[in-house]
Structure 1
């Protein structure tokens, strides 16, 4: 196949070099953006009198037909082509003849690929943000259902203080809200058109870069042509944002894996999001959560790969930058699938509220409230702390919990204990006393739910 760039050289490369150089296998997904960008470019060329209006109309009409043919499957993308840009241009020239060769006037593949990538990723950011919002909504809906379900809260993976299950879920909703905010902010910086920067130095043609950018929905243009073709900050930034999103999903995955184990028994995942064992019939494995946890490392690798590719590149474009796409495409695809899986997994999860409450009781996580009870009766906190610890030790040794220990036994430790003790150390009371903004009381959870839904 003759090379579009043949001239300075004969354009003869080995088959292995062609395969090594080719990017069609992964950049073909940008065909819509490539064709859309080319239509805007043809319109700009006609507006500026660089090509005739009739020629631009011919180019635009045929480009729309090519777009329709690729989308419908009528025109398969030739995987022997070097890249999607060359495939579209060659197909256009086949159909309209020499006028097709005019389309590349006043642009280069360097600014063309930068344009396509920005447009493609902006569309994917919109999709990923929309899916993440659906996940936030699913978490918030589940939090409302379980705003009065007591569970042990943990520090150091040790039972610490009682919280509501809804409160715990809302912590992840807050994380994901930040993820949406980060990705939205990233898109704002991505929304700058590089087209017209050409290879690196701009062009001698009287182009209208602002018109072309406006046609494509960009908010501005790259103001330095060297930067316009070599900037991949938006790739790094998006990869970083997606890595943080995946980290949040991985943390929730870890908790779901623990909660769904026999040892915890806090939740049961739907059969739709679990697998079984080939030899152990009792098994119900949380494979989807485990895969999200595992794929997080893969996305981290995509980020580190892109950073490493770009770290030593001189201005302007270098072929190394072809390596920017596979990693960011993989990260976006991985995050998109992970979020979609989580929406279904959270929406269908069964919560074992009694198991969570029993775990909270057995963990003596109301011991702080027991000490506070004595402190409010006038005992110094350190003395109250010591007595509470002794009572907990007794309960552990004798299979008791604080809520069921008889008052007579409490009085052996202090005469300050009275019948009202049981109201103070009831887990529901303990939780609802924590009514500060952002706390775990039902009232505070309802406030958080309103906050999240307003944000959405």
Structure 2
């Protein structure tokens, strides 16, 4: 009779009544009252961490298998847990597909899974959490989710790089002004401009791939903070979940969120790169530049002005970059004052991580779609070119005749000043004016040869330059890397 009373007391602890619903709770043995409603609103995280249900179940199956291998649960209990968890996974998947959310009263996904497991596995479900804490469980789930999903970002970046590379290859003949300080500087190939962002994004891929070795360390088996009191094989457990190795210190394992902060910082850098690309395209798409035109599906209109075509997708990406940076800074602020091991402040990690991931994924898709469908105005690109952009070429021509570059720089400056005084284009300035400034301008024909946009860009044959051969070399390198 006394044993039955104990079981009844345990059941009353596991199941708490809240809003007329049974709520399964993983703690509360020494509590006499329920948390207040306002604390629950702040504390409960199911609406966020429900996205981890597959990783939670995967980790639980691996944990039960390890307990079974080490003799801490029987074969029958393991089989009941395994089959029960697979049923729970199916249930949750179907409910999310149908309703987009779970209506369970529990505070988090760990509690939901365990409560539902008990309906399928009975008392065996109560053995699943043996020697495990939500601290190492949550840390493991988050890492598993990142390992499962960050490749989606890599794939989207590679799609964008592919689009940039393809356009660069197909539009290699187009020459446009290159800008510094938003002032016309030198002629460049349109392809060269596109590829500048392809290389930027390639570095983003390499940075994220480089993070994988630190991400792929399994926290499971670290317990709440002190480690696992049972004789389990953490290395075997880690391998079964797809990790490369285990975390080397249990305090570090449950308290560190460096991998998330690293991802958020990476996301903010990606966002910054997309924002700069968006800004260039917004400028180039304006009527003043008129270098590109965006497709209807990536433009919007005005509620008042019928003629407007607004690049709202690109502007939203430019704004999103600020949000991504803000999330990285916000989470840094969460971490900076925490004492060691797990603190509830860390619960914000998943909300911020999911938000940054979702926003960045959408940004890449919008940029890729925008660039795939936009049209480039080659004639307008050439019309924006003006002879003053060839001043550097003139200086180089003097250098080839033995004039020191610094002197050549000043002499060409004098030529530009004289053309302005005469109110003529450099191409129209009389040859004797050139000779008067610098006798090395001895041949009128040589001067006339300088006024060629194609000849100008073709001078820059060094690796990474804007000459056709150098651009083709970049395209080839990107092709090889994308393979």
Q: Which residue of 2 aligns with 1:372?
A: 396
| 1:223 to 1:137, Cα distance in 2 relative to 1, 3 A | same
- How many angstroms does 1:455 deviate by? 1.6
- CA separation of 1:162/1:56 partners in 2, compared to 1, >3 Å: closer, same or farther? same
Alpha-carbon contact 1:196-1:202 (below 8 Å) kept: yes
Cα separation, 2, equivalents of 1:314 and 1:429: 64
Q: CA deviation at 1:398?
A: 6.7
The structure 2 residue matched to 1:443, chosen from 457, 460, 469, is 469
- 1:146/1:11 CA distance change after superposition, 3 Å: farther
Asked whether 1:388 is paired with 2:412, we answer: yes
Shift of 1:142: 1.0
2:85, 2:288 → 1: CA distance? 61
272-281 or 147-156: bigger deviation: 147-156
TM-superposed CA distance for 1:95, in Å, is: 2.2
**Displacement of 1:266 after TM fit?**
1.1
Show the counterpart of 1:71: 93
Take 2:142 and 2:103, find their aligned partners in 1: how far apart are those partners? Answer: 20
**More off after superposition, 8-17 vs 192-201:** 8-17
2:173/2:189 contact within 8 Å kept: yes
Q: Give me the TM-score of the superposition, normalised by structure 1.
A: 0.95
Secondary structure of 1:82's counterpart equals: coil
Aligned match of 2:30: 8
User: Structure 1 residue 34 and structure 2 residue 56: aligned?
Assistant: yes
Contact 1:374–1:416 under 8 Å retained in 2: no
Q: Which consecutive unaligned segments of at least 5 residues does structure 1 have? A: none
Displacement, 1:404? 5.6
CA RMSD of aligned residues (A): 2.0
Kindly indicate whether residue 196 of structure 2 is the aligned counterpart of residue 171 of structure 1: yes
TM-score, scaled relative to structure 2: 0.89
CA distance in 1, matches of 2:406, 2:155: 51
Q: Are 1:430 and 2:456 an aligned pair?
A: yes
Q: What SS does the aligned partner of 1:162 have?
A: strand
CA distance in 2, matches of 1:274, 1:398: 45
Structure 1 residues 324-378: Cα deviation after superposition (integer angstroms, max 9, x where no partner) = 111111111111110111111111121111211221226x211111233344345
Once the two structures are superposed, residues 194-245 of structure 1 have per-residue CA deviations (whole angstroms, 9 ceiling, x without a partner) of 0010111112222221221111100001121111111111011111111111
Residues 125 and 184, structure 1, Cα contact 8 Å, conserved in 2: no
Structure 2: 5+ residue runs without aligned partners? 1-14, 17-24
> For the residues of structure 1 that align with 2:442 and 2:406, how far apart are their CA atoms?
15
Q: Number of paired residues?
A: 455
Within the alignment, does 1:88 sit opposite 2:95 as a pair? Answer: no
Alpha-carbon contact 1:269-1:286 (below 8 Å) kept: yes
1:421 to 435, 447, 455: 447
1:68-88 residue CA offsets vs partner (Å, 9 max, x unmatched): 222223796235320011111
1:306 matched residue in structure 2: 331
* Counterpart contact for 2:390–2:450, Cα < 8 Å: no
Q: Which moved more, 1:78-87 or 1:370-379?
A: 370-379
Change (3 A) 1:304 1:386: closer
